[in-house]
Amino acid sequence: MAVNIPNNGIQNAVGNNVYTDLVLTRFPDYFDERSGSKLNPNMLRWLNLTDYNMSEHVNTLQDGVMALQRVLGESVQLPADLVKPDGTPLTAAEIAALKKTNTVKARLDTLERKNFDKRYGGPNWKPDTGNTIEEHKHLGQVGGASKIDLEKEVQNELPRQNIDLTQTGTGLTGANIYINATNKTTIDSSVSDKLSQKEGGTIQKNLTIVGKTQTRTQREYDYLDFAGTVTVDNQTLANSCVKSDATAETMFISAKFSGLYYGRYVISIRAKTDKQINGNLLQIATISKTGDAAESITLKGTDFKEVGKWQNFYLIFTHEPNVANGEGEFRVRKLATAEAASVSLDYVLIMPTHPAVLDR
């Protein structure tokens, strides 16, 4: 027979941090134990025919059951989204049937036994678990494949570092881009054939060429083509020239050329010296080829009119057909000298002869 006590059956209250009205159980913060720091005196074992039930014993049981219900929530056996696999809502009858047949265990089994990330395994995975990462679809979906639609799902411009701009077979180059929507000529072919290499073309305005030209009647060479010490000189067009050694031989240039019309040509050089020695100092020469005669001119230091002043010198030569497909060869060199005297070279030109150059 239960004893009526003033505290309304909560004599052994242990306090509940979460549900303050359920003071006879510690759950869900802690378990209710029979010993130790989590001891709940209402959970001690009772003996038949010896002990008797008190109100707090029944109340403790009620508190524990209510705490479990609050932790689990209502309709815990139902899925969060009450819809069918095709997305249509479940009917009231279907929901009632699920309540009677579905269990929390079944829902846990779904979580534990399904591979929710199809990318990392699960060849037998099926999209039957609701709104999961595997069921994410893109607007560009075609059939069963999910594809990104660049017009609908992508924003902002692609930065340059995300484009393959390497000069390789996979890099984006002018060879891949057309000039406009109606012309199938690529930028690459257009730039390469601005004036057709095969058919020529028409220049309707002035043509300015900053660099050197190589034509059927002319060749140009500057300090970039010469051996020697590059020196800054603002009295040259390129602001640079090449200077020889003071005593040793310096081969400024020894070059072959082809594609010139056959006939009489002149090699024109622009040079200066830092000393007008009496001995031989500079030589301009052509190399003997079949059909061509070796021709040369040797200049003394005294052939320079003034020390440190630029002056032009010329060699007239004949260029004729030979076994090397019209190939010619020439050289310009500063000769070895016992007395120190350096020569600086600005440029070398090959062009057809003109009477003006005969007054060397």
Of 315 and 117, the structure prediction assigns the larger pLDDT to 315
How far apart, in whole angstroms, are the C-alpha atoms of residue 225 and residue 251? Answer: 11
Produce one character per residue of 287-305: b if its CB has 16 or more CB atoms within 10 Å, e if not: eebeebeebebebebebbe
pTM attached to this predicted model: 0.50
Task: Please say if the pLDDT value at position 241 is more than 70.
Answer: yes
For residue 11, the model assigns a pLDDT of 86
Between 179-183, 193-197, 243-247, the lowest mean confidence (pLDDT) is in 193-197
CATH at residue 272 = 2.60.120.260
In this structure, the answer to whether residues 245 and 297 fall within a common structural domain is: yes
Residue 113: which pLDDT band, with cuts at 50, 70 and 90?
confident
CA distances from 90 to 78, 79, 83, 96 (A): 11, 11, 5, 10
Residue owning tokens 């809502």: 89
For residue 128, the model assigns a pLDDT of 53
Is residue 24 within 8 Å of residue 13, measured between CB atoms? yes
169 strand-pairing partners: none
Task: Please say if the pLDDT value at position 321 is more than 80.
Answer: no
Task: Please say if the pLDDT value at position 341 is more than 90.
Answer: yes
Residue 134: which pLDDT band, with cuts at 50, 70 and 90?
low
Between 59-73, 76-90, 138-152, 301-315, the lowest mean confidence (pLDDT) is in 138-152
Task: Please say if the pLDDT value at position 193 is more than 50.
Answer: yes
Region 64-90 average pLDDT:
88
Between 5-14, 71-80, 124-133, 338-347, the lowest mean confidence (pLDDT) is in 124-133
Of 87 and 331, the structure prediction assigns the larger pLDDT to 331
Q: What domain count does the chain have?
A: 2
CA distances from 347 to 61, 134, 149, 211, 219 (A): 109, 72, 61, 13, 11
Task: Please say if the pLDDT value at position 177 is more than 80.
Answer: yes
In this structure, the answer to whether residues 232 and 178 fall within a common structural domain is: no
- What is the 3-state composition of the chain as percent helix, strand, coil, each rounded to the nearest 5? 20, 20, 60
Task: Please say if the pLDDT value at position 199 is more than 80.
Answer: no
What does the mean pLDDT of the chain come to?
Answer: 84
Sign of the CA dihedral with 251 first, then 253, 255, and 257 last: negative
Q: Is residue 257 part of a domain?
A: yes
Host domain of residue 179: 164-193
In this structure, the answer to whether residues 268 and 327 fall within a common structural domain is: yes
How far apart, in whole angstroms, are the C-alpha atoms of residue 313 and residue 358? Answer: 10
Task: Please say if the pLDDT value at position 53 is more than 90.
Answer: no
210-226 pLDDT per residue, tens? 888 889 999 999 999 99
Q: Is residue 304 part of a domain?
A: yes
Residue 6: which pLDDT band, with cuts at 50, 70 and 90?
low
CA distances from 153 to 121, 143, 157, 159 (A): 27, 18, 13, 17
In this structure, the answer to whether residues 240 and 347 fall within a common structural domain is: yes
Between 5-9, 178-182, 210-214, 327-331, the lowest mean confidence (pLDDT) is in 5-9
How far apart, in whole angstroms, are the C-alpha atoms of residue 216 and residue 259? Answer: 6
Region 282-306 average pLDDT:
88
What are 57's two structure tokens? 């014993």
In this structure, the answer to whether residues 249 and 336 fall within a common structural domain is: yes
Between 2-6, 177-181, 355-359, the lowest mean confidence (pLDDT) is in 2-6
Residue 136: which pLDDT band, with cuts at 50, 70 and 90?
low
Q: What are phi and psi of 291, to 5 degrees?
A: 90, -15
For residue 52, the model assigns a pLDDT of 83
For residue 344, the model assigns a pLDDT of 97
In this structure, the answer to whether residues 171 and 282 fall within a common structural domain is: no
Q: Is residue 65 part of a domain?
A: no
Q: Is residue 318 part of a domain?
A: yes
In this structure, the answer to whether residues 176 and 289 fall within a common structural domain is: no
Task: Please say if the pLDDT value at position 105 is more than 70.
Answer: yes
Is residue 228 within 8 Å of residue 345, measured between CB atoms? yes
In this structure, the answer to whether residues 187 and 227 fall within a common structural domain is: no
Task: Please say if the pLDDT value at position 33 is more than 80.
Answer: yes
Tell me how long the chain is. Answer: 360
